[in-house]
Structure 1
Amino acid sequence: MSSSSSQAVVTSGGSVNSAEKVGTPSWKTILALTVAGVAIGAGAWYVLNASGTPKKPKRPSTGGKKRTKNKKETQVGEGNEAKRPTEKTVPAESKTSVLPESEPTSYPENVIPADVESLSQAERAELAKTAKTLGNKYYGEKKYKEAIDLYTQAITLQPDAVFYSNRAACYANLVATKSNDYDKVVEDCTEALKLDPNYIKALNRRAQAYENEDRWVDALNDYTVMCVLEEFKNDTVLSSADRILKTLAQTKAKEAIKSKSPRLPSDTFIAAYMDSFRLSTEKPTVASKGTGAVLTQAAIEEGDAHLQRAFQAISDRKWDVAYEASTASVESGKLSSFFEPLAYNLRATFSFLRGDVDSALADLEKSLELDPKNVNTIIKRASLFVERAEVEQAIKEYYRAIEIDPKDPDVYYHSTGQIRVLTQDNYGAIEDYKKSISLDDTFVYAHIQLGVAQYKLGDISTAVTTFEKAARKFKASGEVFNYHGEILLDTQRFDEALANFDKAIEMMPNSPLPYINKAILYLQWKQDASTAEAECRKAIGVDPLCDMAYAQLAQLLLHEGKFEESLAAYDKAADLARTEPELANAIALREAAAAQLYVASNYPAVMARLRGGM
C-alpha cells in the first residue's frame, strides 16, 4: 500500500525516485553521500536504493602501498560479486621469481641455517626472500603445507606483510578444501596489517575470511577501509561491500522484527496514506463508499456504530480512535451487510499501517468475499502484493479493478501508476496520472505525482508548470509547495525552493517534511550544517515518531563527524521502523555509519584526506 507522501520523491542526486518497496540501500551511495556531505530528499526516506544487480566490474587497480603481483592473481569476487567468495585458489604475492617454473620443485628441509642469530640483517633479508620465492613456487603447485612452512621461515628471518599475507592465502586454500576454520587466515592477515595497515591484499583476504565465518560487521569494516583507501575506484570491492551490507542488514532485520510489536506509525505517515485514497472524501466513486456515505447510512447492528465512529475519527484525524473503533467493529461480530465488508477493509488498512501485512491481507480477502467488486479493497490488496514483492499477482489485481470500474480514478493513481513507478515506466505513469486527473481533477496527489513523473523524465519545464498550476488550483495544499520545493532544490533554484518550503510550513506546521527539506537545502546551498541540524530537530519536535526525521538527522551528524550521535539517531530510526524491509533499510544506514566510524578511528588521516578532497 502506498502513501502519497512516500510514493515518489526528489533526491539531491538529481533524480526523482520511487520510495515504494525498495531494497536495502546501496552502501556505495550511503558512504559517498555522507562523506561528500550531500543529503537526501524528504518526500520519502527510503531513497538510497541500489538500482539493481551491479554491472560486471572492470579489473580494478589496488591502492595503498604498491606491490608487484603475480600474473595469475585474481581479485576478491571478480566476475561473481553477488555471491559469497570461495577460496579455491587464493594467489600468493611475488615480487621476483628466481626459480624456473617448468618443473616441480623438490622440497628443501630448511632454508634457515643453524647459526641464524649470527646473520646480518642483509643476509637475513636475502634468505627470507629465498624462502618466500620457494614458497611461491610450492603455492603455484598447490603444495600449500610446504608453502606454509617456507613462508613461516621467511617470517622468522624477517617479518614482512607480504609473507603473512601469502601464508594466509595458503591457509585459505586449505580451509576451502578441508575445514571451515578461517581463524589462521584472519590471524595472518591481521599480522600483515600491523606491519602495513594499507595493505589492500591482506584486507581483501581477511574480509573474505570474515565473510565465510558470517562475521558480517568485521567483513564490512575491512571492505569499507579498502573502498576509502582506493577512493571508491574499485568497483569489485564496492560491490562486495554492498553485498555484505545487504546481508548484514537483512540478517539483523529478520531477527529484530521478531521482537517488534505492531504499532501505528507517525501521524504524518497515517495522514498521507489515508489522504491518498478518495475513500475519505465526500465524493465516493461507484465502487468505493466514501466517508459521507458511511456516516449517513443507518446503523443497524452494534458493529455498524463502531465503524461509523471509526470513519468520523478518520475525518477528525484521530487515528488512535479510528484504529480502536475499526477493531471493535469487526470483533463485535455484529455487522449489517452494508458495513461488514467496509469494516474488514478498514481493519486491514490499520493492520498494514501497523506493519502487520499478513493480517491485513487476510482481512482484505474476507472483505472481497463479502463485496467482490469493491475497487478500493482490490487496490489495497494489490498494494499488499507489491509490499511482498509479488508484482505479477499485483498486476492481476490491478487489471481486475480496471475491469470492474474503468472510470474509477483511484485505479489509475494507485494501481497502474504504482506499478509503472516501480518498473520505472515514467511515460506510462504520466499517462495513468493524466487519466486519473481526467476522471477527477480535484485530487491533489494525482497532480503532484504527474509533476514528479515528468521531472523523472527530464522534462523539467513541464514539471514546474504542472506544479505551478497545482499551486493555483490547490491554494490550501502545503504538499504542492513541499514537492515543488524539492524539484526546485534539486535544480539548485535555492531561493525559490526556500520560499516553497516556508510556505509549506506555514500551511502545515505539524508536518516534518518541509523542515527536513529545509535542512537539506541549508546544507547544500550554504554548507550550514548547524542550521540544517536545527531544522531536523524541529521536524522531530513536530512529529517525534517520524523515522525519516531521525534518519536525516543521523546523516547530518555523520557529515559533521559526530559519529556516536549519528549512530544513536540511526538506532532511533530503526526502532520506529514498522516492517522488515523498513527495518533492514534503517539497519543498513546504521551499519554503514558504524563502518565509517571504524575507518575514522583506525585511518583518520585517510578519511580526512578523502573528506577534504570531495
Structure 2
Amino acid sequence: MAASSGSDNVSEGSWPKWAIALAIGAPVAVGVAGAIYYTRKKSKVSERKDPDGKPSETKASDPAPEQTQPVLSLAEQAQAHKNKGNKYFKGGKYDSAIQCYTEAIAICPDDNAKDLSTFFQNRAAAHEQLKNYSEVIEDCTVALELNKQYTKALFRRAKAYEKIGEKMKCLEDVTATCILEGFQNQNSMLLADKVLKDMGKEKAKKKYETRVPTMPSKQFIKSYFSSFSQDITCQPLETVKESKEDTEQESDSDKEEATEGDEDKDKDESEEITKSGYVKAKQSFDKGEYEDIINECTKEIEGDGKYAAHALLMRATFYMLEGQATLGRPDLDKLIDMEDADKKLRVNALIKRGSMHMQQGNSTDALSDFATAVRLDPENSDIYHHRGQLNVLLDRVDEALRDFEKCVSINPTFALAQAQHCYAMYRSAFAQRSPMQLQAAMNAFEKVIKDFPECSEGFALFAQALNDQQQYDKADEMFLTAVKLEPENPTTYVHRGLLMLQWKQDVDAAVTLMKKALEIDNKCDFAYETLGTIEVQRGNLEHAIQLFERAIDLARTEMEMAHLYSLLDAAIAQSRVAATYNIRPPMQ
C-alpha cells in the first residue's frame, strides 16, 4: 500500500508516493481552553453528552466512572491534533486539516523540533491541495529551519516555487533533495530535469538574440567542409568560374571563327571576374582567411554579379558557422527557389537548410528538405551522408544505415562517409544486442582504417566503439593514430580524455588532455563543456561555472546554448546548496 500524500504518519491509502505531503508553515497562535481527558465507560453504558456536545456531569445515581486516564502532555496533545488533521486530509477536508495542524503547532513544545517540522510540512501539504503556494513556501521554510535536511519539505517547496515561476529557487531545493536522496527518487530527478530544460531554453533564447557573432577556428571550418564531397565552395576556382551556361565545350571550328571583337569581350569578362566579390571570397577561402568572406559575397550579391548564386551559398554557410542562422536562412531560401541556378548549389543549400532546421529542433522540416534534395538530384552522395547523420541524432538507426549505404554506393571513395557508415552499423548492432552484427561492425571498421589509412575520423569513431566495448587498450591505440594523422583536431583529445576517465579513472590525465585541446583551439566549446563537467564531479564548482560560461559564448546555435545553460544552472544550484546545507554530490 502506498503512503498517503497528505502527511507523515497518515494511514496508508491510494495516494501516490511522489505526492507524500510535507508539512511546513508559519505558526498561528490558537488558544486551547483546558486539558483534554479521555475516559473509558463500561461496555454497556452509553456516554452522556449535553446539547453542546460536552460530556454531562456524573450524577449520584449513575454508576461510578472508571478511573480517569492521566492528563496528556502537550506533546501528546499536539500529536492527537495532527492525527485528527491527517484524517481530515485523507477525506479531502483540507481547511479542517489546516486548522488541526495549526492547533498542533500552537501547543507543541518548542524543544520538539522534529514534531514541529512535521506539523508544518503537513499543513503545507494541505495548503498545496488548495493551491495556496505562498503558504506552502512559508510553512516549508519554517519546517526546514527546524529540520535542515527535511527532504519532504525541500521537495514540496521546490514544487511550490515552480508553480509561482521561481525556477532558480525551485532548482536549488530540488537539487538538495536529489543529493540527500542519493539521486534515487525518480520524481525529484524528473522535476530537476524539467526545470533545467525550461531555464535553459529561456536563457538561450535571450542570449542568442544578443550574442556577438564569432567565427569558429580554422580547424572547425576545415572539419565542417570535409563533411561534403560536392560542395562547390571547396572546388578549385577554375571550376567555379564555369557558369551553368558555360558547361558545354566550344568546338574547334567555333574557336577558329572567333572575331577580334569576341576576344575583346572575353578580355573584359576576364577582368570583370578578377574584380568579382565572389572570386575574392573564394581566394580568401582557399587561403584559410575567412574574416572578409561575408563582405565580399555581399558585394557580389548586391551587384547582381555573375556568381551571385555561388555567393548566396557561401555567405549563408559562413553566417551559419558564425551562429547567425537567422541571417543565413534568407540566402538559402532565395537560392533554393532559383530554378536556373546550378543544381549542385541548390541541393547543397537544401542540405544546409535541413541541418539548420535540425539544429533548431525542427526535424519534420529538416527531413522535408532532404526529401526535396533527393528528388532534385538523387545521385548526390552528400544528401544521404548528411541525412544519415540527422537520422543518427534522431535515433533512427535503421534509416541512418540505409542513407550511409546509399552514400557509399554512389561515392565509395568518400572516407568519412565510410567511417560513419561503420559507426551506424555499430549503433544498430548495439541497440539490437546482436553479437554477430556487432562483430560485423567491428570488422567493417577494421576494413575502413585499412582502406583509408589517412582518415583520422575513421580511427576516432572506431576508438569510440572500442571504448563502448571496454576494449580500452585498442581504443587508445586508435585515438593516438587519429591524433598523429590530425594533431590540430581538438575533439580527438577530448574523446581520449573521456577514455582515460572510463578506463583508468584518471581524472588528472583527462584534465590534461582537455587542456591540450584548448591549447590547440581555444574556441572548442566541446572541450570547455567536457572539462566543466569534470570539474563539477571534482567539486570545483566555481571553475566549472566559468568553463560553462565560456562554452555558452562560443555556442553557434540556440539549442547548443540551451543545453549548456542547463549545465551552468545545475552547477550554480549545486554551489548554493553546498553553501546552504553543507552537502555535495558524491565525487565520481
Report the Cα distance in structure 1 between the residues aligned to 2:390 and 2:534, rounded to whole angstroms.
33
Q: How many Å apart are 1:301 and its aligned residue?
A: 4.1
Report the Cα distance in structure 2 between the residues aligned to 1:403 and 1:552, rounded to whole angstroms.
40
What residue in structure 2 maps to residue 242 of structure 1? 193
Q: Quick one: which amino acid aligns to residue 583 of structure 1?
A: M
Q: How many Å apart are 1:213 and its aligned residue?
A: 1.5
What residue in structure 2 maps to residue 526 of structure 1? 504
Deviations 1:199-257 (A, max 9, x none): 33212210111101211122122222222333333222222221111111111212222
Deviations 1:31-66 (A, max 9, x none): xxxxxxxxxxxxxxxxxxxxxxxxxxx98999xx98
Report the Cα distance in structure 2 between the residues aligned to 1:59 and 1:269, rounded to whole angstroms.
54
User: Does residue 157 of structure 1 match 2:127?
Assistant: no
Do the aligned partners of residues 227 and 246 (structure 1) sit closer, same or farther apart at CA in structure 2, a change above 3 Å counting? same
Do the aligned partners of residues 304 and 438 (structure 1) sit closer, same or farther apart at CA in structure 2, a change above 3 Å counting? farther
Contact 2:22–2:153 at 8 Å: present in 1 too? no
Report the Cα distance in structure 1 between the residues aligned to 2:455 and 2:330, rounded to whole angstroms.
35
RMSD across aligned positions (CA):
3.3
Contact 2:532–2:544 at 8 Å: present in 1 too? yes
User: Does residue 431 of structure 1 match 2:402?
Assistant: yes
Query: Which of the residues 15, 19, 28 maps onto 1:73?
Result: 15
Contact 1:341–1:368 at 8 Å: present in 2 too? no
Do the aligned partners of residues 163 and 145 (structure 1) sit closer, same or farther apart at CA in structure 2, a change above 3 Å counting? same
Do the aligned partners of residues 291 and 197 (structure 1) sit closer, same or farther apart at CA in structure 2, a change above 3 Å counting? farther
Q: How many Å apart are 1:310 and its aligned residue?
A: 2.2
User: Does residue 363 of structure 1 match 2:309?
Assistant: no
Q: How many Å apart are 1:552 and its aligned residue?
A: 0.8
Deviations 1:61-115 (A, max 9, x none): 99xx985555253455x7xxxxxxxxxxx85779xxxxxxxxxxxxxx8536499
Deviations 1:395-416 (A, max 9, x none): 333222222222111121123x
Deviations 1:318-370 (A, max 9, x none): 33243443344334x2411xx11111111111111122222222101211233
In structure 2, list runs of 5 or more residues that go unmatched: 25-29, 37-69, 244-268, 431-436
Query: Which of the residues 412, 430, 438 maps onto 2:384?
Result: 412
Contact 2:21–2:152 at 8 Å: present in 1 too? no
- May I ask how many residue pairs the two structures share in their alignment? 508
Report the Cα distance in structure 2 between the residues aligned to 1:206 and 1:129, rounded to whole angstroms.
23
When normalised by structure 1's length, the TM-score is 0.75
Query: Which of the residues 432, 451, 454 maps onto 1:473?
Result: 451
Report the Cα distance in structure 1 between the residues aligned to 2:584 and 2:410, rounded to whole angstroms.
58
Q: Equivalences for 1:137-152 in 2 at 5 Å? A: 137-140=87-90, 142-152=92-102
Contact 1:60–1:236 at 8 Å: present in 2 too? no
What residue in structure 2 maps to residue 83 of structure 1? none
Query: Which of the residues 111, 116, 127 maps onto 2:32?
Result: 111
Deviations 1:509-555 (A, max 9, x none): 22111211221122222211112111111111110111111011111
Contact 2:490–2:524 at 8 Å: present in 1 too? yes
Q: Quick one: which amino acid aligns to residue 127 of structure 2?
A: Y
Q: How many Å apart are 1:172 and its aligned residue?
A: 2.6
What residue in structure 2 maps to residue 569 of structure 1? 547
What residue in structure 1 maps to residue 365 of structure 2? 393
Report the Cα distance in structure 1 between the residues aligned to 2:299 and 2:523, rounded to whole angstroms.
25
Contact 2:196–2:570 at 8 Å: present in 1 too? yes
Contact 1:70–1:91 at 8 Å: present in 2 too? no
Report the Cα distance in structure 1 between the residues aligned to 2:438 and 2:219, rounded to whole angstroms.
28
Query: Which of the residues 191, 194, 198 maps onto 2:142?
Result: 191
Moved over 6 A (4+): 58-62
When normalised by structure 2's length, the TM-score is 0.78
Q: How many Å apart are 1:143 and its aligned residue?
A: 4.9
What residue in structure 1 maps to residue 64 of structure 2? none
Q: Equivalences for 1:430-469 in 2 at 5 Å? A: 430-457=401-428, 458=430, 459-469=437-447
Do the aligned partners of residues 323 and 503 (structure 1) sit closer, same or farther apart at CA in structure 2, a change above 3 Å counting? farther
Do the aligned partners of residues 243 and 506 (structure 1) sit closer, same or farther apart at CA in structure 2, a change above 3 Å counting? same
Report the Cα distance in structure 1 between the residues aligned to 2:504 and 2:484, rounded to whole angstroms.
23
What residue in structure 1 maps to residue 483 of structure 2? 505
Report the Cα distance in structure 1 between the residues aligned to 2:466 and 2:87, rounded to whole angstroms.
63
Report the Cα distance in structure 2 between the residues aligned to 1:194 and 1:241, rounded to whole angstroms.
23
Contact 1:279–1:290 at 8 Å: present in 2 too? no
Report the Cα distance in structure 2 between the residues aligned to 1:485 and 1:411, rounded to whole angstroms.
26
Report the Cα distance in structure 1 between the residues aligned to 2:584 and 2:229, rounded to whole angstroms.
54
Report the Cα distance in structure 2 between the residues aligned to 1:162 and 1:448, rounded to whole angstroms.
60
Report the Cα distance in structure 1 between the residues aligned to 2:220 and 2:514, rounded to whole angstroms.
17
Do the aligned partners of residues 258 and 400 (structure 1) sit closer, same or farther apart at CA in structure 2, a change above 3 Å counting? closer
Structure with higher RCO (Cα < 8 A, 6+ apart): 1
Q: Equivalences for 1:43-442 in 2 at 5 Å? A: 70-76=12-18, 110-111=31-32, 113=34, 123-140=73-90, 142-158=92-108, 159=113, 160-176=116-132, 182-280=133-231, 292-294=238-240, 301=272, 305-331=276-302, 333-336=303-306, 339-370=307-338, 371=340, 373=343, 374-415=346-387, 417-442=388-413
Contact 2:493–2:516 at 8 Å: present in 1 too? yes
What residue in structure 2 maps to residue 26 of structure 1? none
